[in-house]
Structure formats: structure tokens, C-alpha cells
Amino acid sequence: MDLTIYEIIQGPVITEKAYDLNKRLKKLVVKVHPHANKALVKKALETLFDVKVSDVNIAVRKGKYRNVGRRKNIQGSLIKKAYVTLKEGYTLDLLDQSGTGVVTQDSRNSKEVAAE
């Protein structure tokens, strides 16, 4: 299967764990195509964002089984994530470019005080 670089990278993973990895260890967490491998992910990121990638780790989360109606054991969709480490001197913040505002600890506290 021939994948283009736009099909390989499906988007950033926006979770607290991904945000923490980005800030502490300068790692990116991106959702990738189920047929993509480490080499394809590295090449796609280097081409799309003009950065140098030092390491790529891939994790596969299989879909959960659920009972639906009379049928039993319907499996949900598979999610494949890539944990990407960039080389020294390169930064890429996909969480801010995605259009979702990242909530910091200070803004949470100010909202709680205003609500009281």
C-alpha cells in the first residue's frame, strides 16, 4: 500500500499525557495511519514540518469489544499513535496549531476563583 505523507500523519493526539510529554521531554504524539511504520512516520514529519527526527516509537491500541443488540463482541476501531522525539535545536508545537486552546494550571485557577 502506497501512502502519501498527508495520509500517514492524521493529526495530533490532544491529551494531558501528550501535552506533558511535549513540555517535559520534547516529544510529539501524533495519530498515524494503521499501515504506517517508523520509517514512514519519520520521513513524513521531516518533509511536512522541516524538522529532524531522532527517534520514533509506535503504540497500537486495539478497539474495545462491546455487546450491541443481539450481536455479541463488536470490536471498536484501532488507533495507532507515534511518539516522536526531535533532535536538539528543533521544536514543533502541534497542540497550539490544532486550534484547540491548551488550558494551563493558572487559567484553571482563575476560572475557579471567578466562579466563587
**Cβ(39)–Cβ(95) below 8 Å:** no
The pLDDT assigned to 25 comes to 87
The pLDDT assigned to 95 comes to 60
pTM recorded for the entire structure: 0.74
CA distance 92 to 73: 40
- Locate cell 529532524: which residue? 52
- Report the chain (116 residues): mean pLDDT per 10 consecutive residues: 89 91 90 95 93 95 87 86 92 62 38 41
Class of domain 5-115: alpha beta
Residue 68, classed as helix, strand or coil, is strand
The pLDDT assigned to 109 comes to 40
Residue 3, classed as helix, strand or coil, is coil
Identify the DSSP state of 70: T
Task: Name every residue whose Cβ is closer than 8 Å to that of residue 107 and which is 6 or more positions away in sequence.
Answer: none
